[in-house]
Structure 1
Amino acid sequence: MQIFQHIQQYLGASIDRERLQSLLSQRGHAFGFSDSRALYINSRVRMLALLFAILTPLWIPIDYLLLDSAQFQLMAVVRLFFSLMLLMLSGVPDQDVSLRQAHNRLFALMVMPAVFHLASLMILASVPPSDYLICYSFLPFLIIVMHSVFPLTLFEGVRLALLSITLLSLGPMLQGSLWSFGGFANMWLMCLLMGVALWTQISQLQMKIQLFEEATTDPLTGLLNRRTLMNQLVHIRRLLLRNGRPVALLMMDLDHFKQINDRFGHQVGDKVLKVFSNILQTQVRSSDYVARFGGEEFLVVLPEARTGDAVLLAERILNACRGTSIELPDQTKIGFSLSIGVGRLDINNTVEASLSSVDAALYRAKQEGRDRYVAVDSTFEAAQYDQLLPASKPKKAARKLRTAIGWR
Structure 2
Amino acid sequence: MKILIIGGGGREHAIAWKLSQSAKVHEIYCAPGNAGTALENKCKNIDITNYDELINFAVEEKIDITIVGPEVPLIDGIVDRFKERGLKIFGPSKAAAKLEGSKAFSKEFMKKYGVRTAEYEVFYNPKEAAEYLFRASYPIVIKADGAAAGKGVVIANNFEEAKKCIESFMIEDVFKGSGKKIIIEEFLDGVEASILAVTDGNVIVPFLSSKDHKRIYDKDKGPNTGGMGAICPNPYCTEEVLKEFKENILKPTLRGFKEEKMDYIGIVFFGVMICKKGVYLLEYNVRMGDPETQAVLPLMETDFTHVILEALNKNLSELKIKWKNKYSCCVVAASKGYPEEYKTGFNIGNINKIRGKVFTAGAVFKDGEIKTSGGRVLSVVSLEDNPSRAREVAYGDLEKIEFENIYYRKDIGN
**Taking structure 1 as the reference length, what is the TM-score of the superposition?**
0.22
Structure with the larger strand share: 2
Q: Over alpha carbons, which structure has the higher Rg?
A: 1
Structure with the larger helix share: 1
